[in-house]
Structure 1
Amino acid sequence: MEKLKKYNQKLLAVLGSIAIVFLVIGLIGFCSILISEYQRTSYYDNQDDGILSEEKIEELQKENKREQVISYETPKLIDTLQQLYIIPVSQKSLEDAEIINKSNLLNMYHEALILEKEKADIRYSGSYYGNFNNIIIYNQKTGNTQKLFTERVNFSGFKTVYFDDDIFLLCNVATKDSYKDGVINLRDFKSLYMYSFYSKKFQQVGDSELPIIDYQFINNSKELLIRYGIDKNTNGTYEEYREPSILKRYNFQTEKLTDIVDGKLHNELQQILEGSKK
């Protein structure tokens, strides 16, 4: 009986130790999940910062202050033969507004730009994501740099598309605080912008009042099939789950944007849906 009692005590001690180990492991795992979730949330919160609205900028300018500063991302090799790179330009939000000292603007970016050698096939990855306000075209052969945008914009990514005779750079860009929340970011209306590395032509596709949702090239041609959103409740942001969209076709050469579905057919479909056509 005494032996059985000691055996039970030892068994309970072992089981208790195992339970404590599992409890500690579970607690560590739970803390790791909380930390990861916090970091992920913090990252996306920063991504939603966008650039400040014109109204906010005007307030800061009156005090000769700024709340955001330029930041440069890793250069991307676009054309191996011509040694052409694009340098995404993003922004960082300061914890507190600072006085603008124009004499020190160039000193904000004082480190030399180092371009690592990349394999030729890396440039075909196509899409890049982040929180950007401009793009610089850098020609390593000549040392020349060129900015694409001359106005204040915000975009979350861009895409490079390769043809036999050209390379296109495309990005969905917000230029106005359409949502009226004091920030130009992904909640605002976005327009499609295209840049041709061959012709050096940079153009906006469509009207900035018609927010772009997505696009695709048609049969490997330079014509685009574009889906635009309709801000039916006029709140300044497109809500895909409750607001309609339309399809248009864009020709890069002629710069013409035309409807895929004409007005007559659209009205017929709407009448069938609402039951007004018997």
Structure 2
Amino acid sequence: MKIEKYNQRLLAILGTIGVIFLIVALIAFISITIMEHRRYDDDIETGILSDEKIEELQKENKREQVISYENPRLIDTLNSVYIIPVSHKTLNEIEDIGKTLNAFSSADSYEKSDSRYSSYHYGAFNNLIVYDSKNRANKSLFDKRVNFNQIKAEYFEDDILLLMKVSEKDTYKDGVINLLDFKKLYIYSFEKKVLKSIGIDGMDVVSYKFIDNGKDLTVRFGVDKNDDGQYEEHNEPTLIKRYDFESEKLTDIVDKKIDSELQQTLEGTKK
């Protein structure tokens, strides 16, 4: 009897410990999930102010955001060419335009890459400077207000390409231009020193991929079915096209007949 009671108590203790462990693990999982969600929201909120908000501030000769340069990142080792991402900071208090820009800061969260194939750079950017250190020359890529969070460097035998998915307008109408808005794919060629853009009005660039070991791309576009200015991955479709790098033309990959047949099969209307 004593052994049975001991075993029962031992099982009860072990069961209690197991329940406590599961509760602690569940709380930790929920906390981590919330933190990741908040971090994602914070990344999205780093967008630049919408044109409408800017117009309101300019009427009072005020500003709420200032540019902030990040440390140079080596892209072309042989020619000593760097990129300098330009980010922005949202001030705690709105200030007068013309006030000395003493709020600059820089960050070097990511080490430079010496990859000769591809590399990624992440942050909250509103422009990009290409800096030729040998000739001490630099140029900014964008002459308009934009927002992007990733720069991909793709290496070829005859060129280096920079690729960025860029938001240009507050299509979602939430007061900021950020990653919730429609994006275009921008490509900068180091060899030709030309910036190209790929986009379709009313659609969002979701992803892209190089094909045939060349510079041509497949590009997936998110279709805004409910016309709310935002592509929603979980319930809105994508279409795929091919981009010819030299001609700068987008063409269908899937034949329209096959596309129609697939949709009819899905919805049950194909006889």
2:119 aligns with 126
Residues 37, 73 of structure 1: alpha-carbon distance in 2 compared, 3 angstrom cutoff: farther
Change (3 A) 1:182 1:121: same
Residue 254, structure 1, aligned to residue 247, structure 2: yes
Residue 121 of structure 1 deviates from its aligned partner by 2.5
Amino acid at match of 1:178: T
| Partner residue in 1 for 2:77 | 80
1:119–1:136 Cα change, 3 Å: closer
Q: Which of the two has greater helix per residue?
A: 1
Query: For 2:209 and 2:139, how far apart are their aligned partners in 1?
Result: 27
1:273 positional shift = 1.0
SS in 1 for 2:63: strand
Give me the CA root mean square deviation.
Answer: 2.7
Change (3 A) 1:148 1:277: same
Counterpart amino acid of 1:92? K
**Paired residues, number:** 242
Where 1:211 maps in the other structure, the secondary structure is: strand
Correspondence 1:168 to 2:165: no
1:244 aligns with 237
Deviation of 1:75 after TM superposition, in Å, equals 1.1
Matches within 5 A, 1:116-155: 121=114, 126-155=119-148
* Offset, 1:234: 0.7
Give 1 or 2 for the bigger CA radius of gyration.
1
Change (3 A) 1:208 1:195: farther
Cα deviation code 1:96-131 (max 9, x no counterpart): 1100116x35x665x9x9x9xx98735756111111
Q: What TM-score, normalized to structure 2?
A: 0.81
Letter in 1 for 2:91: L
Counterpart of 2:270 in structure 1 is: 277
- Identify the residue that residue 184 of structure 1 maps to in structure 2: 177
Q: 1:120 to 1:108 in 2, by over 3 A?
A: closer
Q: Provide the rounded CA distance (Å) in 2 between the counterparts of 1:244 and 1:40.
A: 24
* Deviation sequence 1:168-201 (CA, Å, 0-9, x none): 0000000000000000001000110000000111
> What is the CA–CA distance in structure 2 between the aligned matches of 1:239 and 1:34, rounded to whole Å?
25
d(CA) in 2 for partners of 1:139 and 1:252? 25
Work out the CA distance in 2 between the residues paired with 1:101 and 1:272. Answer: 62
**What runs of 5+ residues in structure 1 fail to find an aligned partner?**
1-25
2:259 aligns with: 266
**Residue 53 of structure 2: which of 38, 53, 56 is its match?**
56
| Residue 41 of structure 1: how far off its partner (Å) | 3.4
8 Å CA contact 2:118–2:154 kept in 1: the answer is no
Kindly indicate whether the alpha-carbon contact (under 8 Å) linking 2:242 and 2:253 is maintained by their aligned counterparts in 1: yes
Report the Cα offset of residue 158 of structure 1: 1.1
The answer to whether the Cα contact below 8 Å between 1:83 and 1:139 also exists between their aligned partners in 2 is: yes
Could you tell me which amino acid in structure 2 is paired with residue 59 of structure 1? E
Seen in structure 2, the aligned counterparts of structure 1 residues 40 and 246 have a Cα distance that, compared at 3 Å, is: closer
SS in 1 for 2:203: coil
1:47–1:130 Cα contact (<8 Å) kept: no
Amino acid at match of 1:201: V
How far did residue 67 of structure 1 move? 0.5
- For residue 218 of structure 2, give the secondary structure of its aligned residue in structure 1: strand
Q: Is the 8 A contact 2:116 2:155 kept in 1?
A: no
TM-score, length-normalised on structure 1? Answer: 0.79
